[in-house]
Amino acid sequence: MNKVKVTLVRGIAGKSKNQVANLQGLGFRKSQRSVILEDTPSIRGMIDKVSHLVKVEEV
């Protein structure tokens, strides 16, 4: 499968519980960190929920 590199560009302080849960589910703990994930529909859905907080690149 394809992979995507997701970088958290905004902090999680002050965000809703659902957004924080999505970011933690994607593997983020701190701002300005990157994770490489499989490009699956469930991961894409989680990314779409927090698209204003992350930057996505194809690997």
Please state the domain count of the chain. 1
pTM for the model: 0.88
Rounded to whole angstroms, the Cα distance separating 35 from 4 reads 8
Q: What pLDDT was estimated at residue 7?
A: 97
Q: In sequence order, what DSSP letters do the residues of the chain get, joined into one string? A: --EEEEEE-S--TT--HHHHHHHHHHT--STT-EEEEE--HHHHHHHHHTTTTEEEEE-
Find the domain containing 10 and state its range.
3-58
CATH number at residue 45: 3.30.1390.20
- The confidence score (pLDDT) of residue 33 equals 95
pLDDT at 18: 96
State the pLDDT at residue 1: 76
| pLDDT score at 34 | 96
pLDDT digits (tens, 9 = 90+) for 2-50: 999 999 999 999 999 999 999 999 999 999 999 999 999 999 999 999 9
